[in-house]
């Protein structure tokens, strides 16, 4: 008996050789080792059959299966929107529309704010602090032509009175200027209101001078080279008089009526003030009610920015009479 005869398989058929031998052996061993090993050892013919089945499926089915698989894998997870959040993509106009506001509401708010600021400025200008431009050199060197000053309109608003040494802005109508005989019309009133609000030029009826005497004071001068006296007390004015000027080149002796003021410029040789109106109906005196405010600051030019304090020279007149001693 020949010993080289190939062994028989269990069913009596000759044992396969080559690749078939490996395939059959894998199948047999797969039965013993479980499903996982059998799947790993599929025959090439079975693999080709499955590949053919996939090739015969429509492309849409395969795409759907893959999409379904991915969707199934991500069940329960939030899906990102590639377009983005619609609320985030909305601009200011869409937000205004959603909130019920028109698109031009911001411009309207800005205009309202500007209007409020202008109204506040007009009120301050009319009742609190008012700017003026110095028209002449009658107050040099304290004030120069073109200086912009601020008149404090509250300085005498609550029962106060101008004091000796104050620089005041006043309306000279009726004292330095004659009252107009022409009746006041609508446009005259409108122009006056515009001047009070600072919307129109102040005109040529406003003056800025220094108060020398108040109601009840006796103010005198004996002429060039002599000091001015208030209630018999000489006043040293060298701290503010224009260099080279005498206190007065004109002799006078007046008693200031109650409620009125005697005013003079610091540049005495170039100032038309109370001295120049002695023979006129008002006698050169300025009613306190015509005073617009006390000049407290020079604000322009910026190089001349300064406060206008009451000079100490008038401290010697304290207690000598006049309403200035009642405060």
Q: Which of 121, 138, 155 is the last residue of a domain?
A: 121
Residues 155, 102 share a domain: no
> What is the 3-state secondary structure of 124-140?
HHHHCEEEEECCCCCCC
Query: Is 83 inside a domain boundary?
Result: no
Per-residue pLDDT of 297-308, as tens digits, reads 999 999 999 999
**Does residue 286 share a domain with residue 140?**
yes
Residue 6 lies in a domain: no
Is 209 marked active-site? Answer: yes
What number of H helices and E strands is found in the chain? 8, 12
Expressed as residue numbers, the domain containing 61 is 18-70
Q: CA distances (Å), 73 to each of 67, 77, 264, in order?
A: 10, 9, 100
Whether residue 138 is found in the same domain as residue 226: yes
Q: How many domains does the chain have?
A: 3
Average pLDDT, the chain: 75
SS3 157: coil
Cα–Cα distance for residue pair 67/285, rounded to 1 Å: 103
CB 132 within 8 A of CB 153: no
Whether 56 is catalytic is no
Say if residue 155 is in the same domain as residue 232: yes
The answer on 159 and 42 residing in a single domain is: no
pLDDT for the residue 119: 83
Structural domain includes residue 217: yes
Domain check: are 269 and 292 in the same one? yes
Closest CA to 258 of 289, 235, 281: 289
Question: What backbone torsions phi and psi does residue 230 show, to the nearest 5 degrees?
Answer: -120, 115
240 neighbors 260 (Cβ within 8 angstroms): no
Domain membership of residue 23 (yes or no) is: yes
Same domain, 64 and 188: no
Cα–Cα distance for residue pair 195/7, rounded to 1 Å: 132
- Of the ranges 114-123, 170-179, 301-310, the best mean pLDDT one: 301-310
Catalytic residue among 74, 133, 138, 242: 138
What are the residue ranges of helices labelled H in the chain? 18-33, 35-40, 44-56, 59-73, 86-89, 92-98, 105-127, 186-196
* Inside any domain, residue 224: yes
Higher pLDDT among residues 82 and 136, named by residue: 136
So what's the pLDDT on residue 281?
Answer: 78
Q: Each residue of 260-310: pLDDT tens digit?
A: 999 999 999 999 999 999 888 788 999 999 999 999 999 999 999 999 999
Q: What angle do CA 149, 258, 214 make, to 5 degrees?
A: 40
pLDDT tens digits, one per residue of 25-63: 333 333 344 433 443 344 444 544 454 444 444 444 444
Q: What angle do CA 297, 210, 140 make, to 5 degrees?
A: 70
- Give mean pLDDT, residues 107-131: 83
> Same domain for 221 and 157?
yes
Burial of residue 319 (number of CB atoms within 10 Å: 0-12, 13-18, 19+) = exposed
- 176 and 278 both lie in a single domain: yes
Q: How far apart are the first and last CA of the chain?
A: 155
What is the chain's percent helix, strand, coil content, to nearest 5? 35, 20, 45
At 254, the pLDDT band (50, 70, 90 cuts) reads very high
Catalytic residue, chosen from 98, 99, 107, 209, is: 209
Which of 70, 88, 113 represents a domain boundary (last residue)? 70
In this prediction the pTM is: 0.63
Q: What is the Cα gyration radius of the chain?
A: 53
pLDDT value, residue 7: 46
> Do 171 and 28 fall into the same domain?
no
């Amino acid at each position: 008996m020949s010993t080289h005869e190939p062994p028989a398989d269990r069913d009596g058929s000759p044992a396969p050789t080559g690749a078939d031998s490996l395939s059959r052996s894998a199948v047999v061993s797969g039965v013993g080792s479980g499903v996982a090993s059998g799947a790993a050892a599929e025959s090439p013919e079975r693999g080709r059959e499955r590949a053919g089945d996939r090739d015969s499926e429509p492309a849409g089915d395969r795409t759907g299966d893959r999409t379904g698989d991915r969707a199934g894998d991500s069940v329960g997870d939030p899906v990102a929107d590639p377009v983005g959040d619609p609320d985030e993509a909305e601009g200011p106009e869409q937000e205004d529309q959603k909130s019920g506001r028109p698109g031009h509401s911001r411009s309207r708010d800005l205009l309202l704010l500007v209007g409020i600021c202008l109204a506040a400025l007009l009120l301050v200008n009319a009742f609190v602090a008012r700017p003026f431009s110095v028209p002449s050199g009658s107050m040099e060197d304290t004030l120069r032509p073109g200086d912009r000053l601020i008149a404090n309109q509250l300085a005498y608003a609550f029962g106060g009175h101008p004091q000796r040494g104050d620089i005041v802005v006043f309306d000279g109508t009726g004292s330095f200027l004659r009252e107009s005989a022409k009746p006041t019309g609508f446009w005259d009133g409108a122009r006056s209101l515009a001047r009070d609000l600072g919307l129109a030029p102040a005109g040529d009826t406003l003056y800025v001078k220094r108060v020398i005497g108040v109601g009840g004071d006796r103010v005198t001068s004996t002429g060039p080279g002599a000091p001015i006296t208030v209630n018999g007390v000489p006043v040293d004015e060298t701290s503010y008089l224009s260099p080279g000027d005498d206190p007065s080149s004109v002799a006078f002796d007046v008693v200031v009526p109650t409620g009125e003021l005697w005013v003079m410029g610091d540049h005495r040789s170039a100032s038309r003030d109370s001295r120049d109106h002695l023979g006129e109906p008002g006698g050169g005196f300025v009613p306190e009610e015509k005073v617009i405010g006390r000049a407290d600051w020079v604000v322009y030019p910026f190089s001349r920015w300064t406060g206008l304090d009451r000079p100490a020279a008038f401290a010697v007149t304290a207690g000598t009479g006049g309403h200035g001693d009642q405060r």
